[in-house]
Amino acid sequence: MASSPTTPSSMFPRFLSFAYGVLIFSSFCHCRRLQDSLKGLTLDSVRDFLTREEDTIVFSLIERAKYPYNSPTYDPSYLHGKFSLVEIFVRETQAVQAKAGRYQNPEEIPFFPNNLPLSTLAPPYKFPQVLYPAAASVNVTKTIWTMYFNDLLSLFTTRGNDGNYALTAASDLVCLQALSRRIHYGRFVAEAKYRDAPQDYNPAIRAQDKDALMKLLTSESQEELVKRRVKKKAMVFGQDITLDENDTGDSNSNRTNYKVDPSIAYHLYGDWVIPLTKLVEVEYLLHRLD
Ligand SMILES: C=C(O[C@@H]1C=C(C(=O)O)C=C[C@H]1O)C(=O)O
């Protein structure tokens, strides 16, 4: 028996139910995305954050590289006291920032938490609390401080002294804060990874097995991508721009002089930023079942 012909009018209800289905499905996806973005915590969203932080870090290094090393900034004897100019600058600036509410945001961690004013001028803001409270206090600011002054600074500044010590200290603080925010974001990365696969992480957490945790959270391909992208950002953001007489500014020439050597940016990430982020991830996960 021949089947009845499919007329446009008989297709219409089918089309409607199909469209309705698509609508329900897409609003379900939208709700999921909305929930995720409200929780702010998917591996994609934390990686987006880290990508944006790369810009801040590369720009902060470029700004610091405007000044030579300026050693009196770091030498306590320059002020005839116990502290260097940079340490006093950081302590006092962070105290002002604490008053303005900077450390209400769980992404922000001060370098010198003692001596910060207890009250803030800013009324409290309800930042999403997505971290596991017992694990949230992981803190590697001391390691970042030592790494920055002992290993990093001399790699991307020229030798010399131009007297701009206050500007130098101000640029150092911006670098330190950007590095610290990125590295301590490892807590959020770890939380996202844990929520994706608690069954994979729980045995290693119970055994307090740091090596197993390190293995679970490591993605070598992602690390390579990050390092190459940072190198490229240092090339693009830090190139000297010169205009010839007839240059409209549209062409991409003059890519040879960089304000910060792109391979230093690559190694900064490979040798310090990524390993410290992973250290933070491991330390966070060790307390994820406390
Ligand atoms: C941050 C992550 O975890 C690890 C650390 C990475 C980093 O610091 O860039 C990259 C890949 C992972 O080995 C991630 O997976 O994105």
User: pLDDT digits over 44-75, tens only?
Assistant: 999 999 999 999 999 999 999 999 999 999 99
The pLDDT of residue 183: 98
**pLDDT for the residue 115:** 80
Report the nearest atom of ligand 1 relative to the CA of 185.
1
Ligand 1 nearest atom to the CA of residue 223, by list position? 10
> Does residue 244 or residue 146 have the better pLDDT?
146
Cα 58 to ligand 1 centre (Å): 18
Residues with CB under 6 A from ligand 1: 47, 50, 189, 217-219, 222-223, 226, 274, 277-278
Over residues 190-196, the mean pLDDT reads: 98
User: Which residues 6+ apart lie within 8 Å of 179 measured at CB?
Assistant: 57, 144, 148, 273
Render the burial of 173-212: b for 16+ CB within 10 Å, e for the rest.
bbbbbbbbbbbbbbbbbbbbbbbeeeeebeebbeeeeeeb
User: Mean pLDDT in the chain?
Assistant: 89
Place 244 in a pLDDT band, splitting at 50, 70 and 90: confident
The closest residue, in CA terms, to atom 13 on ligand 1 is: 218
- Residue 20 predicted with pLDDT over 60: no
- Give the closest residue (by CA) to ligand 1 atom 2: 189
Name the β-bridge partners of 258.
Answer: 239
CATH number of 43-240+254-286: 1.10.590.10
Least confident window among 25-34, 81-90, 176-185: 25-34
Closest residue to atom 7 of ligand 1, CA basis: 274
Distance (Å) from CA 137 to ligand 1 centroid: 20
User: In this structure, what token pair is assigned to residue 151?
Assistant: 């290993």
User: Which of 13-27, 113-127, 152-166, 232-246 ranks highest by mean pLDDT?
Assistant: 152-166
Å from CA of 173 to ligand 1 middle: 24
- pLDDT of 242 reads 81
pLDDT band at 13 (very low <50, low <70, confident <90, very high): low
- CA 117 / ligand 1 centre spacing (Å): 34
Closest ligand 1 atom to the C-alpha of 193?
Answer: 15
Q: Please give the model's pTM, rounded to 2 decimal places.
A: 0.85
Which is the closest atom of ligand 1 to the Cα of 281?
3
The 10s digit of each residue's pLDDT in 140-169 is 999 999 999 999 999 999 999 999 999 999
Q: Which residue's C-alpha comes closest to atom 16 of ligand 1?
A: 47
Helical H segments across the chain, by residue range: 8-39, 43-64, 85-99, 141-146, 153-156, 165-184, 186-196, 198-206, 210-217, 220-237, 262-268, 274-286
Residue with CA at minimum distance from ligand 1 atom 1: 189
Most confident of the following: 4-8, 20-24, 227-231: 227-231
Question: 51, 193, 228, 277: which to mutate for ligand 1, most atoms within 8 A of CB?
Answer: 277
Query: Over 60: is that where the pLDDT of 12 sits?
Result: no
Q: How confident is the model at residue 177 (pLDDT cuts 50, 70, 90)?
A: very high
| Averaged pLDDT, 271-275 | 98
Pocket-testing residue among 181, 274, 276, ligand 1, by greatest number of atoms within 8 A of Cβ: 274
pLDDT band for position 6 (cuts 50, 70, 90) = very low
* Domain boundaries defined on the chain: 43-240+254-286
* Residue 187 alpha carbon to ligand 1 centre in Å: 11
pLDDT digits (tens, 9 = 90+) for 179-189: 999 999 999 99
Q: Which pLDDT score is estimated for 74?
A: 98
- Pair 165, 72: CB distance under 8 Å: yes
State the distance from the centre of ligand 1 to the C-alpha of 241, rounded, in angstroms. 33
C-alpha of residue 49 to centroid of ligand 1, in Å: 12
CA 130 to ligand 1 centroid distance, Å: 19
pLDDT above 90 for 82: yes
pLDDT band with cut points at 50, 70 and 90 for residue 257: confident
pLDDT for the residue 38 = 45
